[in-house]
Chain A
């Protein structure tokens, strides 16, 4: 059960215990973070689950595949180098301490 910290657009923070194997999107939704609306339910079609993850975590995360990259690069105006789709990140114990920044909804 990794602990995940979300930094919300108003800069408030919440830390939650995630279930191993859940996606980061699911964890956000389950914990009432409404900025992640996840319209497509995690099938990599909507980009409404956009988040930022500090580059220091890069090693421990499966890199974005082509689908995710295409979506990120083309859907979102404020895309950054550390942008990810939270529905494509699946959590494991090694992600304990992960800090995720949630942008103001772009949608």
Chain B
């Protein structure tokens, strides 16, 4: 008996921890293509980019942890093939390792720019440790930064670069940042925040070309016809689930590796968790793929339990956070498909936007309002019907609104 985990990030590491915590005593091999100790990704666009988080604080667990827990951590190693018949994986050094259970925690990989000039020196992405270090290395010589993409990574990168004193332009191809992820109220708040901090946000201005001299970036051409000077470009234009191993092995995939409620793929000995997974969420009764730390760690717990013989269907309430300047954004639930929002504004800097589908609360985006985030997260599981008028009224106690 043995368990192999492919991918040693938020999902893979948590799976190993939970297997041991559940009393799994057989060998565990945790394989990571990354060369450094498993690390937290969220700081890569935040504190670690701003150089305010020392590297040893980035590691998910200290090196000794893996030896203590008897987890065979193989860094800088890529799995190139899964042989399901023989129940083994093939590594990039040709070594073969047998498994009785396999967990795919392969995450997601960045979408790269395909516009002219995309491979010029000075074009960066933010997905792994090396990406952030590479960007940080170039910062001393850079004054002008252009960030491409109005998702969380783009917004966070813009905020971090601004904090580091750069002239920052944020190019967004849609009408507002986070267009598909949040309501206009939240987009507006975050746009205003970027502007107040001196970032030049351009909407309906997707990048159409990167212009270089001597093979180095000098400007970005945008769809609004303008050019923006750039010493560095940071692109945050989304990710794709890393599902090629699964696909090649003939497992069912569909915008992610398909799993059942126990995170089991179409092969009963193979589980998949985290960013690479497509699963049916019982709360929302639809097929989803979620990119968040919560999703990766909670699915890891479900898979570890299942492998140890305790079948508990996955149904965790999704949550997520993002930090930009002094704004702490905390999100519970998935707002996609909402038909109404209720805003609870406690002050200029503190608001929560509650998302409803009919009478049912389905999500909240809380900006500097942790209480709304936490209470919603606590009760959201049943998609409760809560009184919208009271919710908008800050003189009404939140706990009472949810429990009445």
Which positions in A face B, CB cutoff 8 Å? 26, 29-30, 32, 34, 37, 39-41, 43-47, 67, 70-71, 73-75, 107
The interface centre, meaning the residue of A29, A37, A39, A71 with most chain B CB atoms within 10 A of its CB, is A39
Across the A-B interface, give the 6 residue pairs with the lowest CB-CB distance, nearest first: A74-B374, A70-B371, A45-B321, A70-B370, A75-B374, A41-B40
**B68 close to A32 (CB less than 8 A):** yes
- State in angstroms the CA–CA spacing of A29 and B20 once bound together: 15
Cβ–Cβ contact B370 & A41, under 8 A: no
Query: Are B371's CB and A74's CB within 8 A?
Result: yes
Q: How many residues on B have C-beta within 8 angstroms of the other chain's C-beta atoms?
A: 32
Report whether B61 and A39 are in contact in the complex, using a CB–CB cutoff of 8 Å: no
B27-64 interface mask toward A, CB cutoff 8 Å, 1 = contact, 0 = none? 00000000000001011000000000000010001101
Contact B321 A43, beta carbon cutoff 8 Å:
yes
> Are A32 and B69 in contact, CB atoms less than 8 angstroms apart?
yes
Contacting pair A29 B61 (CB below 8 A): yes
Partner among A39, A43, A67, A71 whose Cβ is within 8 Å of the Cβ of B297: A39
Taken together as a complex, chains A and B put the C-alpha atoms of A107 and B302 apart, in Å, by: 12
Beyond A32-B65, A32-B68, 9 extra complex contacts between A and B, CB < 8 Å: A30-B65, A32-B64, A32-B69, A37-B297, A41-B43, A45-B370, A67-B370, A74-B370, A107-B298
Residues from chain B with Cβ under 8 Å of A45 in the complex: 319, 321, 328, 330, 370, 373
With A29-B61, A43-B323, A45-B330 given, is the CB distance from A37 to B14 under 8 Å?
yes
Asked if A71 and B374 make an inter-chain contact with CB atoms under 8 angstroms apart, the answer reads yes
Question: Which residues on B sit within 8 Å (CB–CB) of A34?
Answer: 17-18, 20-21
Q: Is B321 touching A75 in the complex (CB atoms < 8 A)?
A: no
Q: Cβ of B84 < 8 Å from any Cβ of A?
A: no
Within 8 A of A (CB), among B113-136: none
Which residues on A sit within 8 Å (CB–CB) of B68?
32
Q: Decide if B227 is an interface residue (CB 8 Å cutoff).
A: no
Residues from chain A with Cβ under 8 Å of B62 in the complex: 29-30
Within 8 A of A (CB), among B90-138: none
Q: Would you call B308 an interface residue if the criterion is a C-beta within 8 Å of the partner chain's C-beta atoms?
A: no
> B377 in the interface, Cβ–Cβ < 8 Å?
yes
In the complex, the answer to whether A74 meets B375 with C-beta atoms within 8 Å is: yes
Contacts of A70 in B (CB 8 A): 370-371, 374
Instruction: With CB as the reference atom, state the residue of chain B lying closest to A19.
Output: B56
A43 CA to B42 CA in the complex, in Å?
10
Against A, the Cβ 8 Å flags (1 = close, 0 = not) of B1-23 are 00000000000001001101100
Q: Is the C-beta of B208 less than 8 angstroms from some C-beta in chain A?
A: no
In whole angstroms, what is the CA distance A41 to B374 when docked? Answer: 17
Q: Does B195 contact A (CB under 8 A)?
A: no
Question: Can you show 18 pairs from A to B with CB atoms below 8 A apart?
Answer: A26-B57, A32-B64, A34-B21, A37-B14, A37-B297, A39-B293, A41-B40, A41-B293, A43-B42, A44-B370, A46-B319, A47-B374, A67-B370, A70-B374, A73-B371, A74-B371, A74-B374, A74-B399
Quote the shortest CB–CB distance from B113 to chain A (angstroms).
Answer: 29
CA–CA, A32 and B17, complex, Å: 9
- Expressed in whole angstroms, the minimum distance between the Cβ of A43 and any Cβ of chain B is 7
> Is B269 in contact with chain A by the CB < 8 A criterion?
no
Q: Looking at A34, A37, A41, A46, which has the most chain B CB atoms within 10 Å of its CB?
A: A41
- Report yes or no: A41 in contact with B61, Cβ–Cβ below 8 A: no
Q: Which residues of chain A have C-beta atoms less than 8 A from B40's C-beta?
A: 41
- Chain B, range 321-343, C-beta contacts under 8 Å to A: 321, 323, 328, 330
The answer to whether the Cβ of B294 comes within 8 Å of any Cβ in the partner chain is yes
Residue of B293, B375, B378 near A40 (CB, 8 A) is B293
Cα-based distance from A16 to B42 in the complex (angstroms): 28
Specify which of B61, B293, B323, B378 is in contact with A74 (CB 8 Å cutoff).
Answer: B378
Interface flags, B354-376, vs A, CB<8A=1, else 0 = 00000000000000001101110
Contacts of B21 in A (CB 8 A): 34
CB-CB < 8 A to B375: which residues of A? Answer: 74
Instruction: Enumerate chain B residues within 8 angstroms of A46, measured Cβ to Cβ.
Output: 294, 319
Cα(A39)–Cα(B42), bound, Å:
11
Collect the chain A residues with CB atoms within 8 Å of residue B377's CB.
75
- Beta-carbon contacts under 8 Å, B64-93 to A: 64-65, 68-69
A40, B61: Cβ atoms closer than 8 Å: no
| Distance from A51 Cβ to chain B, minimum over Cβ atoms (Å) | 17
Q: B69 to chain A: which residues have CB within 8 Å?
A: 32
* Nearest residue, chain A, Cβ from B297: A39
